[in-house]
Amino acid sequence: MMSAPESPEFQGPLEEVIDDRQEDLKTARLPLTGQVATIIRDMIIQDKLKPGERIRERQLSQELKVSRTPLREALKILEGEKLISLLPNRGAVVADPAPDEVKDLLQVLSALEALGGRLAAEKATDEEICEIRALHFEMLAAYSRKDRLAYFKLNQKIHKAIVAASRNQALIDTHAQFNARVYRVRYRSNQRNAMWHEAIRQHEDIITALEARDGDVLANRLSSHLGNTWEKFQADDYVSRPRTAPDGTTAGGRPES
Complete edge-to-edge strand list for the sheet that includes strand 84-87: 54-55, 91-94, 84-87
What is the rounded distance in angstroms from the CA atom of residue 220 to the CA atom of residue 34?
34
What is the rounded distance in angstroms from the CA atom of residue 195 to the CA atom of residue 82?
27
The verdict on 143 and 228 lying in the same domain is yes
The verdict on 108 and 86 lying in the same domain is no
pLDDT value at 116 more than 90: yes
Domain span at residue 23? Answer: 13-94
The verdict on 61 and 180 lying in the same domain is no
Q: How many CB atoms lie within 10 A of CB 68?
A: 14
The verdict on 225 and 177 lying in the same domain is yes
The verdict on 137 and 49 lying in the same domain is no
Query: Over pLDDT 90: what percentage of the chain?
Result: 59
Flag whether 7 is in a domain: no
The verdict on 227 and 107 lying in the same domain is yes
Report the chain's mean pLDDT, rounded to a whole number: 82
The verdict on 104 and 139 lying in the same domain is yes
The verdict on 69 and 184 lying in the same domain is no
Query: Over pLDDT 70: what percentage of the chain?
Result: 76
Mean pLDDT throughout 185-214? Answer: 85
Number of domains composing the chain: 2
The verdict on 137 and 204 lying in the same domain is yes
pLDDT value at 75 more than 70: yes
pLDDT at residue 226 in the model: 83
Q: Name the more confident of 154 and 14.
A: 154
What is the rounded distance in angstroms from the CA atom of residue 153 to the CA atom of residue 78?
17
Nearest residue to 75 (alpha-carbon basis) of 92, 61, 58, 59: 92
CATH number at residue 189: 1.20.120.530
pLDDT value at 32 more than 60: yes
What element of type H or E holds 163? helix 148-164
